[in-house]
Amino acid sequence: MTDTAAGTLRVGVDVLHSAELRRLLTRPWFLRLSYAPEEIGLADRMGEERRLEFLTGRFAAKEAVVKVLGTGLLRGVAPRDICVDRAADGAPVVVLRGRAAALGPAAIEVSITHKQNVAAAVALAVVTPAGPPPARTLREDGAPMSLADTHQEAEASAFLRVRIGQEDAHYGGGLVDGAHILRLFGDLVTEITARTDQDEGLLAEYSGVRFLAPVRPGDYIEARARLVRTTRLRRVVELEAHKVIEASPAHGPSGVQVLGTPRLVCTATATTVIPMTRARPATATDVPPATGSHVPPATGRNAPLATGSSAPPATGPDVPPVTEGSAPPSAARDVPLSSTTAKES
């Protein structure tokens, strides 16, 4: 980082071996979590080895951009929110979306180079006004997070995209009920505990549920979940749903519109519990649940909760009892990303 008359010059550098990325690409979630549709479209037109080289260079560029942003992969920024597209002359062009766009400077220049099985990337940006970058994300052992940690962090996240069908309309005007979005959230929470605890878990509570935009048949919804807090028996998960494509009857009976900026339609926080047999050893970070808030019962595993119910949550020989209230979510543990534009050699 260097102060200039125009602001603060930030530099990010990353080097990545293709063998490391090849291993991560075997995980079904990794490609859709880490790359934007434009990047996947470019890669799919390439042969196997060139595709691996291309994706390795793009991920190195994302890591370099993250260092310019001063945050970490998945720490509020999904890798796919940093799109390293290709200009007409072949130069890599950085396009920031979502949280990355809110954090990033107006323009980031990036250069990518390849040597045998290694890709290296450099990202540059001038940030105005000058000032120190945000604190870097650290692992529990104090070391900076990097690609080596990405697969561990991503196992505590989940993503799905669905099209809303005509059969999902519930109210007049073709509106979809909010419970439909909560059902998507329930599936994501189930995936989180499946990855972290090898168990479906039992949903204890939704809190902070906010419906921010209408959903109608023909819309495409992307829902994301991220584990932000873990205690001995509880897992706290932050959830978001965005509309990325919406039906557009004005353009014809089957017209649709691809949204340049995804529209946030719902946010929530879920608390789920796991069986006592899956409990983790207690640690100093485990915080007892707060009292005074009602916990609705779970209907099934991680299905959305019915409103107005006061029955106690389910218990059983393998399921710990759920007490009143739940611990509030703490700061998310994620990993940073970045954005870029420049020549690829």
Mean pLDDT in residue range 130-158? 49
pLDDT attached to residue 3: 53
H-run or E-run covering 95: strand 92-96
Q: Which of 297, 305, 235 is nearest to 271 (CA)?
A: 235
pTM over 0.75: no
Domain at 123, CATH number: 3.90.470.20
Q: Which of 116, 239, 247 is nearest to 174 (CA)?
A: 247
Q: Do 21 and 113 share a domain, yes or no?
A: yes
pLDDT surpasses 80 at 314: no
**Domain limit, last residue, from 141, 170, 187:** 141
Round the average pLDDT of the chain to a whole number and report it.
Answer: 75
Q: Do 58 and 169 share a domain, yes or no?
A: no
Bridging pattern class, strands 118-127 and 157-163: unpaired
Q: Do 126 and 207 share a domain, yes or no?
A: no
For 222-263, write each residue's pLDDT tens digit.
Answer: 999 988 888 888 899 999 999 999 988 887 878 888 988 889
Q: How many CA atoms lie within 13 A of 247 on its CB side?
A: 18
Between 70-79, 188-197, 262-271, the lowest mean confidence (pLDDT) is in 70-79
Domain at 201, CATH number: 3.10.129.10
Look up the domain containing 180 and give its range: 155-278
3 state DSSP class of 314 = coil
pLDDT-based confidence at 76, cuts 50/70/90? low
Q: Is residue 314 in some structural domain?
A: no
Q: Do 133 and 159 share a domain, yes or no?
A: no
Which residues make beta-bridge pairs with 2?
Answer: 9
**Domain limit, last residue, from 278, 306, 332:** 278
Length reported for the chain: 345
Q: Is residue 304 in some structural domain?
A: no
Q: Do 65 and 131 share a domain, yes or no?
A: yes
Q: Do 75 and 104 share a domain, yes or no?
A: yes
Q: Where are the alpha helices (DSSP H) in the chain?
A: 18-25, 28-34, 37-44, 48-69, 98-103, 147-154, 178-197
What phi and psi values does residue 174 have, to the nearest 5 degrees? 75, 25
Judge contact between 254 and 219, C-beta under 8 A: no
For 7-43, write each residue's pLDDT tens digit.
Answer: 678 898 999 999 999 988 888 778 888 898 899 999 9
pLDDT surpasses 90 at 52: yes
Rounded-to-integer distance, Cα 328 and Cα 324, Å: 13
Q: Is residue 296 in some structural domain?
A: no
Residues 6+ apart with CB under 8 A from 303: 183, 186, 203
Q: Is residue 319 in some structural domain?
A: no
User: How many domains in the chain?
Assistant: 2
Between 165-174, 253-262, 278-287, the lowest mean confidence (pLDDT) is in 278-287
**Domain limit, last residue, from 225, 258, 278:** 278
Q: Alpha carbon of 66 to those of 71, 100, 254, 294: distances in Å? A: 6, 9, 39, 40
